């Protein structure tokens, strides 16, 4: 295995003017780099079975290098029970043959490291698959010594006669229905916050925690640089497992458990890598408050390096994710700003608009018809110039849009399939169900990456496991590589800007407008340097609000207007501008592209 490291060299290139950097925060790589999320199943299929794989990822390392990202996060590639595309792990220390072999994994890691790119892998330890040997043992008998590795409870007494159907509490699963499944052999229920084939692990059990630590360390010993910890805020269940009344209440209750912080602190001190020292830890935290995220990622505690939060991707959510409410104008900016202020100053945010769990950002927050490129660029500008670590989800850099579902046969995701079955059984119209899945279903993110306009889109020569979006003929990475004004080139510019300008990584954050129905604007400051971003996040032109900031050097405008320093009076639909005030002695020229 190569011992070449991605530290120094490529990773820090362009980090100009160390003296300008605010020394009160650390020099960790992730403060000035961008992470790229790969969902291996949908990235590139190297062996023609219609499913993306690890060799496919390796074949596109040049794409990561060209974009300039500092790390790649790989969604699961482990053997799985097959219900949640790998988020139901059946063996924590192996590669699913569908994705390749352990050798191919090592080769990929080595290849990425040689290009100066770090490797972050997904780790799913809130639950395992029910096919994992830990669960097989746990389920085998109430006296098995791994029984307690999962969460078993007898039926609730005095409730519907204490028979099956009398779940131990009222918790509902993320994927619909009760979070408990009855096991007839032992007469007990087991807990699963997700699918019934994803039983929750019992973190109060010391042996379980030690087994988890060992499995994580096993990957770190293979030179992995960081771990993305799936739903990590849900691992600590409150004593007595009290009723929750609602889904948000349940998430808040689980996240607020102080035991979470002791588990994380213990992990932090016990994990290490021979090569890079402490691994980068990214915690996914759906439903966690800003207080919890801030605590876990604060420099003092350092339990996690950054938190993935959810408020901004739930703005269109009603009681459940399928009851959609109209997207409230202006709320996107305000919500992002809130997390900048509440978490970003003392802790650290992962910044994202899309992931494998969310509909495509340009379709949801932007305008994928009249202003597709422009809105994709403006959304990226706003996100990337925040304080935190931007995460680009595969295909986002080429403005990939939602899939035009025309039949339920095209749906692959268990969450959407469960919803469709329930909704249809409850009398919902098929068109409505398709509409809702088309707007918020997770499959939108999982259609194959659109590399080029050919029949298979550059993803595979075989029929893909999920349909390719027909718009790949016009919207693809190859076309955009050849167009300096494309969304793709804009992402590359944003990545470079973060590396070159310490203010992007280290500057403070202050919103310049609050609750404006269309315009979002903010200022970053570092010493005498200042960066201002103003964006119209809507389809309609608007008079520019008075930002109360002095004239600066305009370094970017979308769409291109003559570069000038005078104040703006009108913002066109989805227009955004970026200014930097340079201070004497700034070594670098202001480059626009
Ligand atoms: O996601 C957790 C999570 O919050 C999602 O289930 C989210 O609520 C849902 O996708 C919204 O529609 C993580 C993984 O990212 C996801 O892919 C897994 O399905 C889930 O955990 C279970 O492991
Ligand atoms: Ca394949």
- Beta carbons of 84 and 194 less than 8 angstroms apart: yes
- Beta carbons of 437 and 481 less than 8 angstroms apart: no
The pLDDT score that the predictor gives to residue 374 is 97
Query: Ligand 1 atom closest to Cα of 355?
Result: 15
Distances (CA, A) of 427 to 407, 433, 436, 473: 17, 10, 15, 37
Helices 206-220 + 259-270 axis angle, to 10: 40
Q: Is 88 in the pocket of ligand 1 (CB under 6 A)?
A: no
Residues in the chain predicted with pLDDT less than 50, given as ranges, are 1-24, 587-593
Q: Is 125 in the pocket of ligand 1 (CB under 6 A)?
A: no
Cα–Cα distance, 277 to 200 (Å, whole number): 30
- Beta carbons of 214 and 193 less than 8 angstroms apart: no
Cα–Cα distance, 191 to 182 (Å, whole number): 9
Nearest CA to ligand 1 atom 1: 231
Please report which ligand is nearest the Cα atom of 192: 1
106 is catalytic: no
Q: Give the neighbor-by-neighbor strand order of the sheet with 226-229.
A: 306-308, 280-284, 226-229, 118-123, 71-74, 35-38, 389-393, 350-351
Tokens in use for 11?
């990773």
The pLDDT score that the predictor gives to residue 14 is 31
The pLDDT score that the predictor gives to residue 430 is 97
Distance 100 CA to ligand 2 centre (A): 8
Per annotation, catalytic residue among 284, 397, 415, 575 = 284
Query: Which 3 state secondary structure label does DSSP give 182?
Result: strand
The pLDDT score that the predictor gives to residue 273 is 78
Tokens in use for 104?
């191919």
- Beta carbons of 61 and 117 less than 8 angstroms apart: yes
- Beta carbons of 553 and 532 less than 8 angstroms apart: no
Distance 174 CA to ligand 1 centre (A): 8
Cα–Cα distance, 115 to 113 (Å, whole number): 5
pLDDT in tens, 572-584: 999 999 998 866 5
Q: Ligand 1 pocket check: which of 83, 85, 86, 87 to mutate, most ligand atoms within 8 Å of Cβ?
A: 87
Q: What is the number of other CB atoms lying within 10 angstroms of the CB of residue 542?
A: 16
Distance 357 CA to ligand 1 centre (A): 6
- Phi, psi for 535 (deg, rounded to 5): -145, 135
Cα–Cα distance, 422 to 56 (Å, whole number): 37
Query: Which 3 state secondary structure label does DSSP give 530?
Result: strand
Nearest CA to ligand 1 atom 6: 174
- Beta carbons of 536 and 574 less than 8 angstroms apart: yes
Distance 57 CA to ligand 2 centre (A): 10
Query: Ligand 1 atom closest to Cα of 440?
Result: 12
Of 358, 357, 360, 389, the residue nearest 372 (C-alpha): 360
User: Residue for token digits 């496991």?
Assistant: 465
- Beta carbons of 410 and 484 less than 8 angstroms apart: no
pLDDT in tens, 228-268: 999 999 999 999 999 998 888 999 999 999 999 999 999 99
Cα–Cα distance, 262 to 48 (Å, whole number): 46
Query: Ligand 1 atom closest to Cα of 87?
Result: 23
CB neighbour burial string for 576-585, b if at least 16 within 10 angstroms, e if fewer: bbbbbbbeee
Q: Is 194 in the pocket of ligand 1 (CB under 6 A)?
A: yes
Q: Is 230 in the pocket of ligand 1 (CB under 6 A)?
A: yes
The pLDDT score that the predictor gives to residue 567 is 64
230 is catalytic: yes
Nearest CA to ligand 1 atom 2: 231
The pLDDT score that the predictor gives to residue 549 is 75
Q: Is 305 in the pocket of ligand 1 (CB under 6 A)?
A: no
Of 231, 226, 244, the residue nearest 203 (C-alpha): 231
pTM for this one?
0.94
Cα–Cα distance, 593 to 585 (Å, whole number): 21
């Amino acid at each position: 295995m190569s011992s070449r490291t991605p530290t120094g060299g490529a990773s820090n290139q362009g980090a100009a003017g160390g003296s300008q950097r605010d020394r009160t925060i650390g020099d960790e790589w992730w403060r000035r780099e961008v992470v790229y999320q790969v969902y291996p199943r949908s990235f590139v299929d190297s062996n023609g079975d219609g499913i993306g794989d690890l060799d496919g990822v390796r074949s596109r390392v040049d794409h990561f290098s060209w974009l300039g990202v500092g790390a790649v996060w790989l969604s699961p590639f482990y053997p799985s029970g097959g219900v949640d595309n790998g988020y139901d792990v059946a063996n924590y220390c192996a590669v699913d043959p569908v994705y390749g072999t352990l050798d191919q994994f090592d080769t990929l890691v080595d290849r990425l490291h040689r290009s100066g790119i770090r490797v972050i892998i997904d780790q799913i330890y809130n639950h395992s698959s029910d096919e994992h040997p830990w669960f097989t043992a746990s389920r085998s008998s109430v006296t098995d010594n791994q029984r307690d590795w999962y969460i078993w409870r007898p039926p609730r007494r005095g409730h519907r006669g204490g028979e099956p159907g009398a779940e131990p509490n009222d918790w509902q699963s993320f994927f619909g229905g009760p979070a408990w499944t009855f096991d007839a052999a032992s007469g007990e229920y087991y807990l699963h916050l997700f699918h019934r084939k994803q039983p929750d692990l019992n973190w109060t059990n010391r042996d379980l925690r030690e087994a988890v630590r060992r499995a994580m360390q096993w990957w770190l010993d293979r030179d992995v640089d960081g771990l993305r910890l799936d739903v990590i805020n849900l691992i600590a269940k409150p004593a007595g497992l009290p009723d929750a009344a609602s889904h948000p209440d349940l998430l808040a209750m689980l996240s607020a458990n102080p035991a979470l912080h002791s588990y994380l602190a213990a992990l932090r001190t016990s994990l290490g890598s021979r090569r890079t020292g402490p691994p980068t830890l990214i915690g996914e935290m759906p439903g966690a408050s800003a207080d919890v995220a801030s605590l876990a990622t604060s420099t003092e505690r350092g339990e996690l390096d950054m938190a993935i939060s959810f408020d901004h991707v739930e703005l269109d959510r009603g009681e459940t994710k399928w009851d959609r409410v109209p997207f409230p104008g202006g709320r996107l900016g305000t919500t992002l700003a809130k997390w900048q202020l509440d978490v970003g100053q003392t802790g650290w945010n992962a910044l994202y608009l899309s992931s494998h769990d969310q509909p495509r950002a340009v379709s949801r927050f932007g305008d994928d018809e009249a202003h597709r490129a422009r809105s994709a660029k403006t959304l990226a500008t706003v996100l990337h110039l925040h304080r935190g670590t931007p995460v680009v989800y595969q295909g986002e850099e080429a403005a990939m849009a939602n899939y035009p579902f025309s039949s339920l046969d095209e749906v692959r995701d268990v969450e959407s399939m469960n919803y469709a079955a329930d909704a249809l059984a409850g009398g919902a119209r098929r068109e409505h169900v398709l509409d809702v899945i088309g707007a918020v279903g997770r499959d939108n993110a999982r259609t194959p990456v659109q590399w080029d306009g050919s029949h298979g889109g550059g993803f595979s020569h075989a029929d893909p496991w999920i349909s390719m979006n027909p718009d790949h003929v016009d919207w693809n990475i190859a076309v955009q590589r050849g167009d300096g004004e494309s969304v793709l080139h804009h992402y590359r510019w944003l990545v470079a800007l973060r590396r070159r300008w310490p203010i992007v990584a280290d500057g403070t954050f202050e919103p310049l407008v609050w609750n404006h129905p269309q315009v979002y604007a903010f200022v970053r400051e570092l010493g005498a340097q200042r960066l201002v971003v103003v964006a119209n996040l809507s389809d309609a032109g608007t008079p520019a609000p008075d930002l109360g900031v002095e004239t600066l050097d305009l370094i970017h405008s979308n769409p291109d207007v003559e570069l000038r320093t005078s104040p703006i009076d009108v913002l066109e639909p989805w227009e955004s501008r970026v200014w930097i005030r340079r201070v004497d002695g700034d070594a670098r020229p202001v480059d626009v592209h």
